[in-house]
Amino acid sequence: MIYLLLFLQFFKTGLFSVGGGLATLPFLYEMSNNTGWFTHSDVADMIAVSESTPGAIGINMATFAGFLTAGVPGGIVATIGLAMPSVIIIIIISKLLSKFKDNKYVESAFYGLRPASIAMISAAGINVARIALVHMNVLSEGGSFLNFFNLPAIALAVVLFIAQKKLKWHPVIFIAISALIGIIFHFGGV
């Protein structure tokens, strides 16, 4: 029974959260209030964990909440519940798209959608850079301008940029190297 409840709750979350992982947060807080399956501080912990593991936060949160509520099967059921609505909707859209692919209006819509898509990707990059390459808090605390830049991180970014261009290795290799450098040089400041 608990599995069915978990499935339905996360199905609802998956159905109504539009626009990526963080859009699931309001639903998770509401679920916490209504069911008591997990606390608000569990959600906060999970944001931190999600940022340090692969996968999207919505998925991670479903696994975590399901596990807390009903063990390993709970974790799996909740995650599938979250994924199900988007899978169904995307399959329907795919079907329509293959039908109307050469339609003039669909093509024109994509003329507008592509710059929008790349604008959002650029903005996501800027958001990561804001955390990774500079110290935003220095500005509000009135520190010196030089401290604003996280110089070791910027140096790593430049090296990675050039290396990636020259070497053409798989991105995963660069991710692993960056993790190692982060550990060796204490990039997290701890």
Instruction: Find the binding residues for another protein in span 73-112 (CB under 8 A).
Output: 75-76, 79-80, 82-83, 85-87, 89-91, 93-94, 104-105, 107-112
Selected from 25, 68, 135, 138, the binder of another protein by CB under 8 A is 68
Instruction: Supply the minimum distance, in Å, between the C-beta of residue 111 and another protein.
Output: 4
Q: What is the DSSP letter of 32?
A: H
**Residue closest to 42 by CA, chosen among 30, 54, 51, 29:** 29
Q: Which residues ranging from 154 to 183 are in contact with another protein (CB under 8 A)?
A: 156-157, 160-161, 164-165, 170-172, 174-175, 177-183
DSSP-derived 3-state class of residue 79 = helix
Distance CA 71, CA 81 (A): 15
DSSP-derived 3-state class of residue 187 = coil
Q: Which residues ranging from 12 to 41 are in contact with another protein (CB under 8 A)?
A: 14-21, 24
Q: What is the DSSP letter of 134?
A: B
Q: Which is nearer to another protein, 4 or 120 (CB)?
A: 120
Q: Which residues ranging from 132 to 151 are in contact with another protein (CB under 8 A)?
A: 132-133
Identify whether the C-beta of residue 52 lies closer than 8 Å to the C-beta of residue 3: no
Selected from 45, 100, 151, 167, the binder of another protein by CB under 8 A is 45
- Which region among 1-9, 29-37, 123-131, 140-148 touches another protein (by CB under 8 A)? 123-131
Instruction: Supply the minimum distance, in Å, between the C-beta of residue 81 and another protein.
Output: 11
Selected from 2, 56, 135, 138, the binder of another protein by CB under 8 A is 56
DSSP-derived 3-state class of residue 149 = strand
- Which residues, including other chains, have CB under 8 Å from residue 187's CB and lie 6 or more apart? 152, 153, 156, 181
Distance CA 63, CA 78 (A): 6
